[in-house]
Structure 1
Amino acid sequence: MTSHVVPHTQQAIVQSHYGAVRDVLALSEVVPVRAPGPREVQVHVRAAAVNPIDWQMIEGNRRLIARRRFPFTPLFDLAGVVTAVGDQVTSFRLGDRVHADNEIDGGGASEYVNVSVELLAHAPAGLDFAESAALPLAAQIAMTCLDRGQVAAGTRVAVIGASGGVGHLAVQMARAAGAFVVGVSSARNQEFVRSMGADEVIDRNETDVSSSFGADSFDVVIDCVGGREQWIQAQRVLRPGGRFVTIARDEDGVVTLASAVQLASTIAARRLRGAGPRGTKYIPVFLKASGALLRRVNELVDDGRVRVHLSRSFPLTLEGVNAAIDESRAGRATGKLVLQR
């Protein structure tokens, strides 16, 4: 393997403060390249992915939950090549192709970033860097939804938002588990959702789950869209003891003290209502990323049971990041938005 010379400084897209994305991101030519800590791996970033949490954090919509220290290099999903390892790292070597959801420190918009060994996994052999970068956050959330929903062979599952980044992976994972899967999406994405393995697809603009299916039709509803109406619809179709698993809040706005209190109250009330063996279980999912969870995802990818769909690829430049975030915000992407060098 040809030796890779790591520079002392690098180019990186840096956030200086909270605000509108195009106002607060800038290209810096002199960001230090830091040697990895004892339990860290230094990665030469070759691709990254954009998720809604990226621009929500940049704008400060989530600062009450997780404050950001500036300057900060955004984008959590990344893939690249190992260029250095900490002295306590034994599972990765120079030249390894890797990917991760670097859930606290970001760094996907840099040339080099240090990632905790606990978050990192070897990239699937059959994927390129862009596909590898598209997987970590969305796929780990999808896997967590299946775990929390106890999806197994014979389970009947409805996935709301089945064409999105998390949804299209959840459909495939549920099918791989042996579940019967109904995908809910817009009409223009119905064929795509079928191609992901959904047994049936319904147009969410023409009907809803409860109008298309009667009571006791599903064991699990996985909500990738959010909104109170999803919870209401799910209660009408879930069997006694059924599980409503959601990755979104009722209102996807700025998190304030008042909204945080309201969210906590809503979760508590819905959980209380679902108490008992016949109650509808309300299960909000908050991802805790890990290399172990990502390796479970990679096993499905390596076996050919899950594939990640790239909606569009952008250059990993300042303008590319701005354009990818604009498209993410529009909410029309099918699958994942990625950036690559």
Structure 2
Amino acid sequence: MTSGAVPHQQRAIVQTHYGSVRDVLTLSATFPVRAPGAGEVQVHVRAAGVNPIDWQMIEGNRRLITPRGFPFTPLFDLAGVVTAVGTQVTDFRVGDRVHADNASDGGGGSEYVNVRETLLAHSPAGLSFAQSAAIPLAAQTALVCLERGQVESATRVAVIGASGGVGHFAVQMARAAGAFVVGVASARNEDFVRSLGADEFIDRHDTDLMSRFGANSFDVVIDCVGGRAQWMRARRVLCPGGRFVTIARDEDGVITPVSAARLLSTITFRRLRGVGKQAIKYIPVFLEASGILLQRVDRLVEQGQVHAHVARSFPLTLAGIQAALEESRAGRTVGKLVLER
């Protein structure tokens, strides 16, 4: 079923090869619009969210493990309106407002994109397209972190990078679960992190968890920053059997065969050290996006327990995408960056 107003060609931001966003993204005025497959939903994109994985993939940092075919329309997080559905789609209709982390396929930089029904969810009631686009990847990741860390009522949790995309969702979700939450971020973001529900705040440049709270003071540390230092510091403050949950690697930059082997060795060693009831657990999180997981996030949003903080909105144009990706790469974003048309 289709709305009947969908063109055969569209304007889309297209990546032609790996490199910096200024060099490899172009505007195509004749990019094809494909009819949705049997299990796909066609979405008219009204807004897109920005995540670090976007510029990392564009630059080719992860080409070893997730090679990209070209031409490619970037940006995984998107929100918009359903314009057509495949023959096997049952949960969505033309005109529905939806959002998704369109894992691996991207398309946020296009006007129309096909999304697998299994990745899609109805946008929470009352949210703008920009707010809806800010949610999928980061909020799903945060929810997985809490689940893997077994965060529940009275759990003592520290969130490293509490003001960022995943971090600001993790603070809210932990608070909603009834946990005692300490947010760690730059001093300039203290008011913001406390507004999310953090019980305590630590300026990451001034002090650390050990100095403030002492040994055996946390059940869970959620790391949204990365680096070996986070793991080493967390081990000092986690109680026996505590969980270190991380979404980041020790090293940033291009993944090479050598760095991939080193990463696998490091993860394996740390996880083996966590064997036993009293040992500290090392838990890396790699998101497998799904519509079901996104629906669970959306329920928290609709209940007023979680909200997406949009730090800045850019126009969904070539210049806007370039500017948004460069700002994300600078690593100082509070909450989320979005693009909208």
The residue aligned with 2:67 is 67
Deviates more, 1:271-280 or 1:294-303: 271-280
Q: In 1, Cα distance between the equivalents of 2:44 and 2:158?
A: 39
SS of the residue corresponding to residue 87 of structure 2 reads coil
Q: In 1, Cα distance between the equivalents of 2:216 and 2:286?
A: 27
Q: 1:250 and 2:247 equivalent? A: no
Deviation at 1:275, TM superposition (A): 1.0
Change (3 A) 1:104 1:3: closer
Q: In 1, Cα distance between the equivalents of 2:207 and 2:103?
A: 36
SS of the residue corresponding to residue 165 of structure 2 reads coil
Deviation at 1:174, TM superposition (A): 0.3
The residue aligned with 1:80 is 80
The residue aligned with 1:233 is 233
Q: 1:292 and 2:324 equivalent? A: no
User: For residues 126-179 of structure 1, what are the alpha-carbon distances to aligned partners after superposition, in whole Å with 9 as ceiling and x for unaligned?
Assistant: 210000000000000000000100101110000000000000000000001110
SS of the residue corresponding to residue 118 of structure 1 reads helix
User: Percent identity of the aligned residues?
Assistant: 75
5 Å-filtered alignment, 1:51-130, equals 51-130=51-130
The residue aligned with 1:193 is 193
Q: In 1, Cα distance between the equivalents of 2:212 and 2:236?
A: 11
Deviation at 1:4, TM superposition (A): 5.5
Deviation at 1:108, TM superposition (A): 0.2
Q: In 2, Cα distance between the equivalents of 1:246 and 1:184?
A: 14
Deviation at 1:285, TM superposition (A): 0.3
Q: In 2, Cα distance between the equivalents of 1:285 and 1:90?
A: 31
Deviation at 1:9, TM superposition (A): 0.2
Q: In 1, Cα distance between the equivalents of 2:192 and 2:62?
A: 32
Deviation at 1:274, TM superposition (A): 1.3
5 Å-filtered alignment, 1:197-212, equals 197-212=197-212
Deviation at 1:3, TM superposition (A): 5.1
SS of the residue corresponding to residue 184 of structure 1 reads strand
Q: In 1, Cα distance between the equivalents of 2:336 and 2:254?
A: 24
Given that 2:3 and 2:94 are in contact with CA atoms closer than 8 Å, whether structure 1 keeps it comes out as no
Deviates more, 1:242-251 or 1:204-213: 204-213
SS of the residue corresponding to residue 146 of structure 1 reads helix
1:279 maps to amino acid: A
Given that 2:160 and 2:224 are in contact with CA atoms closer than 8 Å, whether structure 1 keeps it comes out as yes
2:244 maps to amino acid: F
Given that 2:3 and 2:84 are in contact with CA atoms closer than 8 Å, whether structure 1 keeps it comes out as no
Q: In 2, Cα distance between the equivalents of 1:212 and 1:78?
A: 40
The count of residues paired between Structure 1 and Structure 2 equals 340
SS of the residue corresponding to residue 144 of structure 2 reads helix
Q: 1:33 and 2:33 equivalent? A: yes
User: For residues 261-298 of structure 1, what are the alpha-carbon distances to aligned partners after superposition, in whole Å with 9 as ceiling and x for unaligned?
Assistant: 00000001111111100100000000000000000000
Deviation at 1:208, TM superposition (A): 1.1
Following TM superposition, the consecutive aligned residue runs of length 4 or more in structure 1 with deviations greater than 3 angstroms are none
Q: In 2, Cα distance between the equivalents of 1:151 and 1:4?
A: 47
Given that 2:310 and 2:335 are in contact with CA atoms closer than 8 Å, whether structure 1 keeps it comes out as yes
Structure 2, unaligned stretches of length 5 or more? none
Change (3 A) 1:3 1:259: closer
After TM superposition, the score normalised by the length of structure 2 is 0.99
Supply the RMSD in Å over aligned alpha carbons. Answer: 0.9
Structure 1, unaligned stretches of length 5 or more? none
After TM superposition, the score normalised by the length of structure 1 is 0.99
2:119 maps to amino acid: L
Q: In 1, Cα distance between the equivalents of 2:127 and 2:65?
A: 34
Q: In 1, Cα distance between the equivalents of 2:35 and 2:3?
A: 16
Given that 2:163 and 2:334 are in contact with CA atoms closer than 8 Å, whether structure 1 keeps it comes out as yes
Q: In 1, Cα distance between the equivalents of 2:203 and 2:215?
A: 19
